[in-house]
Every structure is written in C-alpha cells, then in structure tokens.
C-alpha cells in the first residue's frame, strides 16, 4: 500500500498519555502529583537553555539534549527538530523568492538607462559610415557619454543584484549545521 492511500493525519505522530487505570489517574490528580498543566521545576540533569546541544520540547516546554530521540514526557524530539528544519528551509526559499521578485522590480527602471545610451552610440556610427573616412574627435565625444551611462548602469545593476547573489549562494550551500547555528544564535 502506498503513502497516498492514507489520509495525511495518519503520518503525524502525537505523544500519548500513558494511563494505567482511571483510579490511579484520579488519585494522582487529587494528590497534586500529576504533572499535566503545571510547570516542571528546573532539573539539573537537563542542559542549560542557552546550550547549542539543547532543544525545548514543544509538549512540556522542558529543555532536553539534542541527542535524545524522545523527551522525558514521551514527545518525539527527533521529529520536532526535523519539523523545525523543514520550516526553516521553507522560510529560506520563500525569502529568496521574495528577494528575487524585489530585485527584478528594481532592475526594470535601471535597464531603461541603457536605452538612453543607444543614441550616443548610433550617432557616431552613422556619421562614420556616411560622412567621414576617418575617426574624428567628435565621434569619441559622442561615445564618451554612452560609455559613462553604460558603466554607471552596470555598476548600479551589480549593486542591486549583490544581495540576490548572496542569497542564491546561501540557498545552494546551506546545511543542517547552518540551521543549528542560526537556531542557536537566535536563541542566545
């Protein structure tokens, strides 16, 4: 049977509350020994919150080591970390596509600048073709503004495209360690 035959909710793992009997659960609730609904005290066997090797359990809000597959409350930490990584990866691609669209919008008017340089290139060519046998100073004076406009447009285009190039390099070269470093730096 393939994965497509099952509904999407089948593939989602949820922690279960282990119960021996309803009488025991009632006793634990009445005696105040049940941990559900109240914060857990700081445990010295758990890592410090600012450690790069720590992850906060989404179920009980306690801090656990990354090397543990399951939290002490029974929550699957490996899946939680994978979900966080996939959400981060999706956010990276979304930010890159938004930056790409923004850069494209900024480049459209800048590319019109090159159209302004075309008459400064064509006039000397037409003059050399029809009226002159030699290269004159007037032809050079017409080409100078064209080169100035083209070089200014190229410089401006490179400045606008630079963040997109950096983002594309990051999208092509990120790793799971990059995710962990960003997660740690955001938490600390």
Establish if 31 belongs to a structural domain. yes
Establish if 2 belongs to a structural domain. no
Which residue in the block uniquely carries the two structure tokens 């390099």?
169
Task: Point out the least confidently predicted range of 57-66, 87-96, 160-169.
Answer: 57-66
Q: Is the dihedral of CA 80, 81, 85, 91 positive or negative?
A: positive
pLDDT in tens, 115-147: 888 888 888 888 777 777 666 777 778 888 888
pLDDT value at residue 52: 77
My answer on whether 84 and 62 are in the same domain is no
Task: Point out the least confidently predicted range of 10-14, 25-29, 93-97.
Answer: 10-14
- Higher pLDDT pick, 167 / 20: 167
My answer on whether 91 and 134 are in the same domain is yes
My answer on whether 93 and 166 are in the same domain is yes
My answer on whether 30 and 87 are in the same domain is no
pLDDT value at residue 1: 44
Please answer whether residues 153 and 175 qualify as being in contact, where contact means their C-beta atoms are separated by less than 8 angstroms. no
Establish if 69 belongs to a structural domain. yes
My answer on whether 61 and 89 are in the same domain is no
CA–CA dist 169, 167 (Å, integer):
5
For residue 56, the cross-strand partners are 63
CA–CA dist 132, 120 (Å, integer):
17
Domain count across the chain: 2
My answer on whether 116 and 169 are in the same domain is yes
pLDDT in tens, 100-112: 999 999 999 888 8
CA–CA dist 87, 170 (Å, integer):
16
Query: Residue 74 pLDDT more than 90?
Result: no
For residue 64, the cross-strand partners are 55
Establish if 6 belongs to a structural domain. no
pLDDT in tens, 5-24: 555 554 555 545 555 666 76
Determine the structural domain holding residue 91 and report its residue range.
79-187
Residue 54: CA count within 13 A, CB half-sphere: 15
pLDDT, average across residues 55-63: 86
Instruction: Work out the angle at residue 152's Cα, subtended by the Cα atoms of residues 149 and 154, and round it to the nearest 5 degrees.
Output: 105
My answer on whether 131 and 169 are in the same domain is yes
Query: Residue 172 pLDDT more than 90?
Result: yes
My answer on whether 42 and 88 are in the same domain is no
Name the domain boundary from 75, 98, 120.
75
Establish if 113 belongs to a structural domain. yes
The reply to whether the predicted model has a pTM over 0.75 is: no
Name the domain boundary from 52, 75, 98.
75
Query: Residue 79 pLDDT more than 80?
Result: yes
CA–CA dist 179, 96 (Å, integer):
16
- Percent of the chain at pLDDT > 70 equals 75
């Amino acid at each position: 049977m393939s994965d497509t035959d099952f509904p999407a909710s089948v593939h989602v793992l949820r922690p279960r509350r282990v119960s021996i009997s309803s009488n025991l659960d009632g006793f634990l609730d009445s005696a105040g020994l049940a941990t559900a609904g109240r914060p857990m005290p700081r445990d010295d066997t758990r890592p410090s919150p600012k450690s790069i090797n720590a992850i906060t359990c989404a179920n009980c809000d306690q801090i656990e080591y990354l090397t543990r597959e399951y939290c002490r409350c029974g929550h699957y930490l490996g899946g939680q970390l994978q979900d966080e990584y996939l959400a981060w990866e999706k956010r990276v691609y979304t930010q890159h596509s938004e930056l790409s669209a923004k850069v494209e919008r900024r480049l459209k008017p800048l590319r019109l600048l090159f159209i302004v340089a075309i008459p400064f290139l064509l006039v000397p060519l037409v003059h050399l073709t029809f009226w002159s046998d030699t290269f004159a100073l007037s032809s050079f004076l017409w080409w100078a503004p064209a080169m100035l406009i083209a070089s200014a447009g190229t410089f401006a285009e490179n400045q606008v495209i630079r963040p997109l190039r950096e983002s594309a390099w990051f999208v092509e070269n990120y790793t799971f360690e990059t995710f962990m470093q960003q997660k740690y730096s955001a938490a600390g």
